[in-house]
Amino acid sequence: MIVERIDYQAGSVAANGALIYDAQTKGPRPLLLISPNWLGISEAAIKRVAAMAGTKYVAFIADMYGGGKVSNGPPEAATLANGLRADAPERRRRITAALETLRSESDQRGIGDLSKQAAAGFCFGGGNVLELARSGADVKAVVSMHGDLLTSMPAKKGDIKAAVCVMHGAADPVVPKKDRDTFEAEMEASGAKWQMLVFGHLLHSFCEEESNVPGIGQFDPGAARQCYNMVDDFVTAAFDGKL
């Protein structure tokens, strides 16, 4: 797998994302934008996205903090992520810039199928791709895994073009049921094509092996395997107009 670090401007920051693709695969492939968890573009994130991309997608990992910064742990990550959570317009500018960079860089290399674009995110990154959907981005599908669900700028009727899929743990203490209820009401009011899968008893971060925090986040291999398969199934169905 090729991992190219790409400099680009994202809102108010100079960003450095990661373009990931299989060099042996011929012809254009669908585009998959990935927004990582609040630690940023870590080695674990790069490895995960390389596996997700495989021979099927051209992937790009969004840099939401600027400079390709990788947080040194939860306290710093919380400060960085919460700053963007409190500034929805800037959050949208940064994730939109990442999508535009994926489009342009894949097109320059002749490896991207611009008719098929999707985005997925983990935790904080899940919230980022939901903001992308709320902004009206022209992508076919958006998938959030144990992500932020609330926003200060809820989608209005007709705003969301993408099909939206949310996967969440029933016992997630970071984004509890009341947030799921608020999100559901927002999606229904917006008229979006959306779905939510809730995994019983699971906490936060159940798709990420390196993100265990006692009582808060716990990796679950079975649910993780199911989620990764569902990302591919959902995105492919959206590309094929079968949702």
Q: Any idea what the CATH number is for the domain that residue 89 is in?
A: 3.40.50.1820
Domain encompassing residue 10: 2-239
Question: Beta strand 2-10 with 13-21: parallel, antiparallel or unpaired?
Answer: antiparallel
- 73, two tokens: 């742990």
Report the alpha-carbon distance of residue 112 to residue 114 in Å, rounded: 6
Of 212, 184, 216, residue with least CA distance to 197: 184
What sign does the dihedral 56-17-94-51 (CA atoms) show?
positive
pLDDT above 90: residue 73 = no
**pTM of the predicted protein model:** 0.96
Are 125 and 63 spatial neighbours (Cβ–Cβ below 8 Å)? Answer: no
Burial of 87 (0-12, 13-18, 19+ CB in 10 A): middle
Are 19 and 31 spatial neighbours (Cβ–Cβ below 8 Å)? Answer: no
**How high is the pLDDT of residue 210?**
81
pLDDT above 80: residue 30 = yes
pLDDT digits (tens, 9 = 90+) for 75-132: 899 999 999 999 999 999 999 999 999 999 999 999 999 999 999 999 999 999 999 9
CB neighbours of residue 225 within 10 Å: 11
Cα–Cα–Cα angle for 186, 187, 193, nearest 5°? 170
Question: To the nearest 5 percent, what fractions of the chain are helix, strand and coil?
Answer: 40, 25, 35
Report the alpha-carbon distance of residue 95 to residue 126 in Å, rounded: 11
pLDDT digits (tens, 9 = 90+) for 209-235: 887 788 999 999 999 999 999 999 999
**């903090």: which residue's tokens?**
65
Burial of 236 (0-12, 13-18, 19+ CB in 10 A): middle
Mean pLDDT, the chain, rounded, equals 96
**């489009």: which residue's tokens?**
103
Q: How many domains does the chain have?
A: 1
SS3 197: strand
| Average pLDDT for 55-76 | 94
